[in-house]
Amino acid sequence: MDQKEIIRRRLKRILPTVQKPGRYFGGELNAVVKEWQSVAVHMALVFPDIYDLGLPNLGIMILYELMNQRQDVLCERAYAPWLDMEKAMRENDIPLYSLESLHPLSEFDIVGFTLPYETLYTNALNVLDLARIPLKSADRIVGHPLVIAGGHAAYNPEPMAQFIDAFVIGEGEEVLPELVDCYKTWKSSNVSREELLLKLSQIQGVYVPSLYQPAYDSAGHLTSLAPTRETVPPRILKRIAAVLPPPPTHFIVPSIGVVHNRIAIEIMRGCTRGCRFCHAGFISRPVRERTVDQIVETVEKALDATGYEEIALLSLSSSDYTHINELVSAISSRFAGKNLTISLPSLRIDSFSVDLMENLRGVRQGGFTLAPEAATDRMRSIINKPIQSSQLLETAEAIYSRGWQTIKLYFMIGHPSETLEDVAAIGDLCRAVLNVGHKVIGKRASLHVGVSTFVPKPHTPFQWVPCDDPDKVIAKQAVLWEKLKGPGIKLVWSNPKETMLEAVLTRGDRRVGDAILKAWQMGAKFDAWQDQYRYETWLKAFEQSGFDPAFYAYRERDVAELLPWDHISPGVSRHYLEREYRKSQTPETTPDCRTNCYGCGILPAFSDERRENPGDLWLCPEV
Q: Which residues contact 385 (CB under 8 A, 6 or more apart)?
A: 273, 275, 372, 373, 374
Minimum gap (Å) between residue 526 Cβ and other proteins: 22
- Residue 315 sits at the vertex; the CA angle it makes with 345 and 255, to the nearest 5 degrees, is 70
Quote helix, strand, coil % in the chain, to nearest 5: 40, 15, 45
Residue 6 engages other proteins in binding (rule: CB under 8 A) = no
> By C-beta, is 113 or 251 nearer to other proteins?
251
Stretch that binds other proteins, among 170-178, 255-263, 457-465, 607-615 (CB under 8 A): 255-263
Sequence-separated (6 or more) residues with CB below 8 Å from residue 449: 408, 409, 411, 430, 484, 489, 490, 491, 492
* CB closer to other proteins out of 10 and 136: 10
Q: Pick from 3, 6, 21, 613 the residue near other proteins by CB under 8 A.
A: 21
Which listed residue (3, 4, 6, 25) binds other proteins by CB under 8 A?
A: 25
Residue 215 or 363: the one with the smaller Cβ distance to other proteins is 363
Comparison of 143 and 337: residue with beta carbon closer to other proteins: 337
- Kindly identify the residues of this chain, within the stretch 300-359, that bind other proteins according to CB under 8 A: 303-309, 339
487 binds other proteins (CB under 8 A): no
Q: Count other C-beta atoms under 10 Å from residue 127's C-beta.
A: 26
29 makes contact with other proteins (CB under 8 A): yes
Number of residues forming the site for other proteins (CB under 8 A):
30
When asked if residue 257 is in the footprint of other proteins (CB under 8 A), the reply is yes
Q: Residue 568 in 3-state DSSP?
A: strand
Is the link from the previous residue into 81 a cis peptide, with omega within 30 of 0? Answer: no
Identify which range of 181-189, 227-235, 248-256, 558-566 contacts other proteins by CB under 8 A.
Answer: 248-256
**In this chain, which stretch among 152-160, 252-260, 341-349, 545-553 interacts with other proteins, using CB under 8 A?**
252-260
- Residue among 14 and 154 whose Cβ is closer to other proteins: 14
Q: Which range, of 27-35, 100-108, 555-563, 570-578, touches other proteins by CB under 8 A?
A: 27-35
CB distance 397 to 438 below 8 Å:
no
* Backbone angle region of 202, left / alpha / beta, with phi > 0 → left and psi within -120 to 50 → alpha: alpha
What minimum distance in Å lies between the beta carbon of 84 and other proteins?
A: 14
Query: Which residues, 6+ apart, have CB-to-CB distance to 64 below 8 Å?
Result: 32, 45, 75, 77, 248, 252
Nearer to other proteins, 32 or 83 (CB): 32
Neighbours of 158 (CB within 10 A): 26
Number of CB atoms found within 10 A of residue 53's CB: 19
Question: Does 13 engage in binding with other proteins (CB under 8 A)?
Answer: yes
Cα–Cα nearest to 149, from 204, 207, 99:
207
Among 84-92, 147-155, 254-262, 264-272, the segment contacting other proteins (CB under 8 A): 254-262
Among 7, 26, 137, 320, binds other proteins (CB under 8 A): 26
Q: How far is the CB of 119 from other proteins (least distance, A)?
A: 28
Q: How far is it, in rounded angstroms, from Cα 170 to Cα 172?
A: 6
Interface positions with other proteins (CB under 8 A) = 9, 12-13, 15-17, 20-22, 25-29, 31, 253, 255-257, 261, 303-309, 339, 363-364
